[in-house]
Structure 1
Amino acid sequence: MTRDAASPPTANPDPTGGSRDGWRLSRRDLLRLGAMAAVAVGGVGAIEITDRLLDDRTGDSTPEATRIPSMCQMCTTACGIIGHVANGRLLKITGNPKDPNSQGAVCAKGVAGPSVLYDPFRMLYPLKRVGERGSGRWRRITWEEAYDEIATRLREIRDRGKPEEFAFQQGRNRSSDIVSRFLNAYGTPSHFNHRALCSANRRAAIATTIGESDWDLGDFENSRYVLNFGSNWAEAHQGHIPVAIRMMRAREKGARLVTFETRMSNTAALSDEWFCVKPGTDGLIALAMANVICREGLWDRTWLETWSNYPPDKILEHVAQYTPARAEQESGVPATTIERIAREFAAAAPECTTICNRGSQAHRNGYYNDRAITMLNALVGNMGKRGGWCWHPRSSWDKKAIPEPEPVPDKPTARSIIAEAKDWPLANAFAGKMKVAEIIYLWIREGRQKISALMTYNADTAWSWPEAQLVRGVLQDEKLIPFHVCIDVMYSETSHLADIILPWATYLERWDIDARPPQGLVDYVSLRQPVVPPRGESKDIREIFPELARRIGGGMEAYFPWATTEEYLEEYFRPVPGGFARMRADGVWMDPTKKPHYEPHTKPLTAAELDGAAEDAETGIIYKGADSKTGEPVAIGIRIGGVALRGFLTPSRKVEIYSDFVVEKGKAAGREVHPLPVYEPIPSHQREFPDDHLIMTSYKINVHNAHRTMQSKWLQEISHTNPALLNRATADKLGIGDGDWIEVTSFRPLDPAVPMGDGSELGTLRTRVRLTEGVHPLVIAIAHNAGRSVGGAYATNGKDDAAIPGYGEAADPDLDRLWWRGAISVPQNDILPIYPDPVAGGQAYHDTVVRIRKVG
């Protein structure tokens, strides 16, 4: 691959901030840090060892540093951080103790931020393709040239009345306000996210059951018993560090942790008990526990009769079919063990909770799995209780108290077939739009929606999407996507297939208003601010989008009246005491008058709320006013025991064990959706496998996250390979030894309910085997945080040493220490089929049937 540079290479700044004699973590220090990050606390201890390495050195001459609070974005958790800066260079990152979620802790990924900021292969200038798309030939252009060409293209699409033909594909987006403002002002509904590849099934299950949130927040710190269904919170949970902190405190106080998982994860290793289960059977285990709890009267019958929309005796009748014996037969967990754990869980109520994530929901039956797990909490009456299964209505800050500055554009009136994803009943049924990311590029290839311009933003779809080779084929086809702009920090498989690359500022160089679901059950707001100026000519979208809006015109510019991002944030933070200045000083603010969000459904309605309201005599539901769009009456509460309470935000204002809502959504989509939590066996798994056929699962390495970390030389040195994990007994049957090379061939599901569900062969990769007792005998597990082909020498284990214009190998003195050059690293996503749950659309990462054979 060649990349044509318009100017000679520029010397790269040393990652330590200048001098080779300055501060630097040695390889030994990094490996010690990696070892700490890999322990059970999932990185909580990493900050302790880092502080020791940085602050207790002898003979070190680190200059006095300025401490600047900000927010991490090395993963989804967005912990509060402090950047330590001297002479204009970032020296190190520590945690911000004022952050109510992370409370001063930060993991190995967060500590490694400087290695991304100062990466020698980072893109720092706008680039334009000069060869065929995918040839890797570029020339450096000015921002003026980039703005003019992009604005001209987008204006033409808009002027001919087809705004939906401009599609915006985002990955992890922590600048949601400015993205929505730009797209809504333009008028395109073709805004694609990646939620189906993350947590769609789980979110849909929670929203179905309680209505007011799609994110559970177990009150882990105060819990006495935690049932973990496939959540690896010690390494890769959405609430990673905040959850780990609270979980470990609970463990110190004697809380019991039981884990069901197909692989011995760090979380499983931390648990009192770990059960190695067959993939996709989590829901059946939960239903069998429900069977025991109901049959033996261990439930909180009073709570259920008050707050469940389905009578306890009907629940008992429904779960009778899911016996512990049946669960043992399919999952492998002994029936007597299921009975014992169900009794222990109920006995700990209400100070007990469940936690689940990709291990339970990233399946073809993931929605129903998590419906069953959620119901367990209702049965024992722990919902909203201290130490129980809790939630918060806001997954970020309080947007009523801190609203987006006016003027705010209306939502688009144009339609997007791909974004609406109507084949999946619950994909967009709730307030938090799920969308179905897996099918975007397939549907573009099939011509279901014309795309005239695509903008990808922090979304390496050509590497990280299922059937990534299909994605690459679509991105390379100029008839399908005539114009592609990629906004990202690093060169990647996706930017490799762009027409224009815009160098994005890292999270350490830009602004955001941000917050995450509050693990302490009190919402807060945070500020991400630059700790150093942007390197080279990199810019943030908060600067890019206003300029594009002004050049596109047609009224778009009216929604960007602020001269600078600081001016915009000054207005945004006006409701916060002390305003923008306080946020810059502290990095975070939480209203001290707010209390933890326990049992919000029991809040009495006020006299003002009841004024003018009407009550349904049969259901007790209290209505006031009408919906502006549908004209339907709006429920504001329910009368319970003679008291008007807020209730849950479901149609019945109760916990919906039985949901008419999802049944109706299913009918509208032409699919049957069960109103109750059920177990649906995975079709491809319901047969006797030949010895060489296994179920392939994926998992995340604790020091990597999606596509954003493999370019970090610090993190790649810790983890840079992903051999296939195979059970020793399985390997013995096939004559495979530790370290042998194998060929893994995957098959699409044999399932008419999913796209291309014909059982056909999909793809093959070659990798090496690591034998272990810590994986199910029917499973082959491969981490998907590896397998890059472009992006620099560190990201690719030495495969790609080609220079980005202005930068290159010669500029980085560390390349001679790339001792892992050539280490095996395979792209699992190339052989993962597009496999959405038929109800909610979440990707089935853990259900792919593969054939393996020993080679060479």
Structure 2
Amino acid sequence: MRNGRLLTIDGNPADPNSQGSVCAKGVAGPSVLYDPNRLLYPLKRAGRRGEGRWLRISWEEAYTEIADRLRAIRESGRPEEFAFQQGRNRSTDIVRRFLNAFGTPSAFNHRALCSLNRRAAILATIGDSDWDLGDFENTRYVLNFGCNWAEAHQGHIPVAIRMMRARERNHAKIVTFDARLSNTAAVSDEWFCVKPGTDGLIALAMSNVICSERLWNKAWFDTWTNYSADEYAAHVRPYTPEMAEAESGVPAEAIRRVAREFAAAAPRCTTICNRGSHAHRNGFYNDRAITVLNALVGNMGHVGGWCWHPLSAWDTQALPEPGPIPPKPTARSLIAEAKDWPLANAWEGKQMRVGEIVYRWIKERRQPISALMTYNCDQAWAWPEAGLVREVLSDEELVPFHVCIDVMVSETGNLADIVLPWTTYLERWDIDSRPPQGLVDYVGLRQPVVDPLGESKDLREIFPELARRIGGGMERYFPWRTQEEYFEEYFRTVPGGFARMRANGVWQDPAKAPNYVPYERVLTAGELKGSQTDEKTGIISKGGESVGVRIGGVARRGFSTPSRKVEVHSRFIVDKGAEADRTISPLPIYEPIPGQRERLAEGKLIMISFKWNVHNAHRTLQSKWLQEISHTNPAWLNSATAARLGVEEGDWIEVTGYRPMDEHVPGGDGSPLGTLRTRVHVTEGVHPSVIAIAHNAGRTTGGPVASNGRDRTSLPGHPPSRDKDRERVWWEGSLSVAQNDIMPIYPDPVSGQQAYHDTIVSVRKVTGTG
């Protein structure tokens, strides 16, 4: 800081995840904070939705209108008709409190557009967590299936620094399977360019090799899974490396060699995967196969192996939320339940909402909405079939009232009735922690470094005030007078309390040890008191719930699955499928994408999406520092594919997206969805059946920086920009296309995960400038 102005950002060395490192997005924080096109005052629509005509209003006017609307909905007895949509949310406590106090279950997030298949596969298999945390720093071998941890991953910098330490200290080998030469693939020891959606088949073929050559840890598998190693060997026998080569393009001998190397490194070996493996129609099965591959070599929970932590954030039992706590809503909501997908909400408390389908439901009037509040989620630009989202948000009969809370004007905000200026993370209080890469949970405090600019406010100010104005009992759940008073109470169990958190920014209980082999923990006499043991299964039950399992006569904790073991064969998912009249295989399998082979034979391509290391979904494109680095997104084509299509570097092409040919998917009739025009980047760094387009471009609003000069709107009440860089956007007019306009809504029938990497497109060369 200098003279009250933020100049630079460094990482906090006390943070156990980042350990003082930050990425480009962190360094660029000041350019977001001082963005001249930020929202600074409440705005009210003055024309039709989408016209971009606004009036500046006071917070009093905004609060009054919003509270009046929401009060009427609540008093109507249909609280579920108030829907709340969120993007990335680090204020889960205050959001949950407000929605529960209101009584609406109609909240949906971007889980199905991000990580639903991955989480469902892990929960179904081990039950202890919905996210794996490989012990990368101590590993010797990493199999990476479609995870771009060097650029765009939930763990990003914490994962990257541990990967690099493993290479330096342990001579760890990293092998990456990905359809595109990402920065992660580039820093790996080996990169195999795979056909999208075949990652699970490669893992099954490796399992075949490990079983047939008896490279497995048979004793561990037979002890700690609910399926014998011999049975699993029989199951994977048809999945030969030759079969995997024919589908994926990875040579059979390479699959055999890598499988042998992986097994030889056990237990100090692990897998890592992300949207490259699970954001597919078959993604649940892909990640199940990859997860069980770890069990086969017995690395689960071991130092340097495939690990996890039961908490993905801070320990809410050690740090209980200040009371009084509102009860959970009793109203019913199609948005919340998503019953068409067996595993969408199969695990209590995980909120695996199938968010991409909601706007289709609203259009079909399956889900009545009286008011919608969107928070940090630019769905009118960032969601599949974004044109459908814009159509629904434009219709005042379908969405009578829409409030948008965000830092900048966006395509979504442009379709709101009231826009509220949200503080950046540099101007607000928050509780912050992430999945602990060191396998010990921690809690962090986000605190303002500058006063909020203009009249921007955070949810922790907005929601308590709305609750008081709505009334009807809501106000009693917000008894504190200031945010600091709330955090004083929240951190009272931390040694040194709120003062310590303000000084250090983070706290980790020194008495806690890394979460290694938690399933081996021997149950105490107190835990066993009053329990019963099933002589056939060894499962120990108490009070009607399983608490452990006897292994070799010893009562151990086991896994948090029905069998208290790794569920290679899952009866749970079969039963969930039956409830929804859907067949789910109890074992990991490979399931080809319906219709894909036939459409590729017609000359069509698979469109995939990726993110640059300097951008974060919709939240960074207004940063002039980051946008100057990356502001365009031409389509990547393999040189052989380009030659077949008769196109060269820089040529213009027209890309037409199609809906899937899949009877289990809403609108799965194979029809054209839309077209876009873009330029070609010819490269060997992408699979021949693929066209790859970056997600981080294509804005039409948000100011000249975000939109490459398309939008120069001045907001009412905002002072004229004094930013000397406003007229120095040298990349004005650069190519920038919105990929999601031609990407169909495509939920995996098992969990509801959006199949981001299965969009079928046709490509033709065109003349002109797009």
TM tier, smaller: over 0.9
Match in the other structure for 1:246: 162
> Residue 264 of structure 2 aligns to a residue in which SS?
helix
Q: Secondary structure at the match of 1:102?
A: coil
Matches within 5 A, 1:488-507: 488-507=406-425
Shift of 1:467: 0.3
- Distance in 2 (CA, whole Å) between partners of 1:458 and 1:665 is 33
Please say if 1:683 is aligned against 2:598.
Answer: no
Q: Distance in 2 between matches of 1:498 and 1:539?
A: 18
For 1:479, the equivalent position in structure 2 comes to 397
- Matches of 2:532 and 2:62, distance apart in 1: 58
Preserved contact between residue 802 and residue 809 of structure 1 (Cα < 8 Å): no
Alpha-carbon deviation of 1:843? 0.7
The counterpart of 2:578, out of the listed 664, 667, 670, is 667
Return the match for 2:51 from 115, 135, 140. 135
Decide which of 211, 214, 230 is 1:313's aligned counterpart. 230
1:696 aligns with 2:607: yes
Q: Is 1:107 aligned with 2:18?
A: no
Residue 377 (structure 2) pairs with residue 466 (structure 1): no
Task: Using the TM superposition, give the Cα deviation of residue 684 of structure 1 relative to its aligned residue in structure 2, in angstroms.
Answer: 2.7
Q: CA deviation at 1:801?
A: 0.4
Q: Does 1:223 align with 2:136?
A: no
Residue 712 (structure 2) pairs with residue 801 (structure 1): yes
1:703–1:650 distance in 2 versus 1, CA, 3 Å = same
- Check whether the contact 2:657–2:762 (CA below 8 A) recurs between aligned residues: yes
Is contact 1:207-1:214 (8 Å) kept?
A: yes
1:194 aligns with 2:110: yes
- Equivalent in the alignment of 1:392: 309
Q: Following the alignment from structure 2 to structure 1, what is the Cα–Cα distance between the partners of residues 715 and 620?
A: 18
Q: Residues of 2 paired with 1:805 and 1:571: CA distance?
A: 40
Instruction: State the partner residue of 2:65.
Output: 149
Tell me the CA shift for residue 688 of structure 1: 6.0
2:340 corresponds, among 403, 406, 423, to: 423
The residue aligned with 1:286 is 203
Query: Offset of 1:816 from its aligned partner?
Result: 2.2
For residues 23-102 of structure 1, what are the structure 2 equivalents within 5 Å?
85-102=1-18
SS of residue paired to 1:681? coil
Which whole-Å CA distance do the structure 2 matches of 1:727 and 1:334 have between them? 19
Q: 1-side partners of 2:210 and 2:391: how far apart? A: 51
SS in 1 for 2:548: strand
CA contact (8 A) 1:801 1:809 kept: no
1:439 is the counterpart of 2:334? no
CA distance in 1, matches of 2:719, 2:744: 36
* Counterparts in 2 of 1:688 and 1:816: CA distance versus 1, 3 Å: closer
Contact 2:599 2:760 (C-alpha < 8 Å) held by counterparts: no
CA RMSD of aligned residues (A): 0.9
Q: Which amino acid aligns with 2:98?
A: F
For residues 703-751 of structure 1, give each alpha carbon's deviation from its aligned partner in whole angstroms, at most 9, with x where no partner exists. 0011000000110000000000001111111110100000000110011
Unmatched runs of 5 consecutive residues or more in structure 2: none
Match among 368, 376, 379 for residue 285 of structure 2: 368
SS at match of 2:6: strand
* Cα separation, 2, equivalents of 1:89 and 1:214: 40
Q: Which residue of 2 aligns with 1:338?
A: 255
Report the Cα offset of residue 806 of structure 1: 2.9
Contact 1:604 1:645 in 2 (8 A): yes
SS in 2 for 1:687: helix
Alignment partners' CA distance in 1, 2:4 and 2:505: 20
Quick one: which amino acid aligns to residue 598 of structure 1?
A: Y
* TM superposition shift of 1:808: 6.6
> What is the Cα deviation at residue 691 of structure 1?
6.7
Aligned to 1:637: 548
- Distance (Å, rounded) in 2 between the aligned partners of 1:206 and 1:672: 19
Partner of 1:546: 464
CA contact (8 A) 2:406 2:421 kept: yes
Counting only pairs closer than 5 Å after superposition, residues 249-328 of structure 1 correspond to structure 2 as 249-253=165-169, 254-328=171-245
Counterpart residue type for residue 220 of structure 1: F
Partner SS, residue 332 of structure 2: coil
After the TM superposition, which of the residue ranges 427-436 and 450-459 deviates more from structure 2?
Answer: 427-436
Offset of 1:810 from its aligned partner?
4.4
Q: 1:578 aligns with which of 485, 496, 511?
A: 496
SS in 2 for 1:196: helix
CA distance in 2, matches of 1:524, 1:264: 34
Whether the aligned pair in 2 keeps the contact of 1:120 and 1:808 (CA below 8 Å) is: no
Query: Separation in 2 of the partners of 1:453 and 1:216?
Result: 37
Find the aligned partners of 2:364 and 2:52 in 1 and give their Cα distance: 27
CA distance in 2, matches of 1:616, 1:118: 64
How much has 1:222 moved relative to structure 2?
A: 0.5
- Correspondence 1:593 to 2:504: no
Alignment of 1:427-826 (within 5 A): 427-431=344-348, 432-625=350-543, 633-687=544-598, 689=600, 692-807=603-718, 810-826=721-737
Structure 1 Cα separation of the partners of residues 604 and 560 of structure 2: 45
Counterpart-to-counterpart distance in 2, 1:732 and 1:664: 49
8 Å contact 1:809–1:815 — kept in the other structure? no
2: CA distance, partners of 1:563 / 1:494: 32
Query: Distance in 2 between the 1:380 and 1:530 partners?
Result: 47
Q: By how many angstroms is 1:809 displaced?
A: 6.3
Quote the offset at 1:91 in angstroms. Answer: 1.1
1:850 aligns to 2:766 (yes or no): no
The one-letter code sitting in structure 1 at the alignment partner of 2:399 is I
- Structure 2 Cα separation of the partners of residues 284 and 689 of structure 1: 19
Deviation of 1:807 after TM superposition, in Å, equals 3.1
2:129–2:309 contact (8 Å) kept in structure 1: yes
TM score, norm. by length of structure 2: 0.99
Detail structure 1 runs of 4+ shifted over 2 Å in the superposition.
688-692, 806-812
Output the amino acid matched with 1:269: A
Equivalent-residue separation in structure 2 for 1:233 and 1:196 (angstroms):
20
Measured against aligned partners, the alpha-carbon deviations of 1:271-311 in whole angstroms (never above 9, x if no partner) come to 11110000100000000000111111111111011100011
Contact 2:107 2:335 in 1 (8 A): no
Distance (Å, rounded) in 1 between the aligned partners of 2:677 and 2:715: 29
Q: Within 1, Cα distance between the matches of 2:644 and 2:725?
A: 44
Task: Give the counterpart of 1:122 among 25, 38, 54.
Answer: 38
Aligned residues: 765
Q: Judge conservation of contact 2:674–2:741 (CA < 8 Å) in 1.
A: yes
Q: Which residue of 1 aligns with 2:91?
A: 175
Once residues 730 and 781 of structure 1 are traced to their aligned partners in structure 2, the CA distance between those partners, rounded to angstroms, is: 12
Structure 2 SS opposite 1:342: helix
Q: Is the 8 A contact 1:801 1:808 kept in 2?
A: no
**Is this contact kept in 1: 2:446–2:505, CA < 8 A?**
yes
Amino acid of the structure 1 residue aligned with 2:421: P
Q: Secondary structure at the match of 1:89?
A: coil
CA contact (8 A) 1:129 1:499 kept: yes
Q: 2-side partners of 1:260 and 1:130: how far apart? A: 51
List alignment gaps of at least 5 residues for structure 1. Answer: 1-84, 626-632
Residues in 2 aligned to 1:564 and 1:775: alpha-carbon distance in whole angstroms: 53
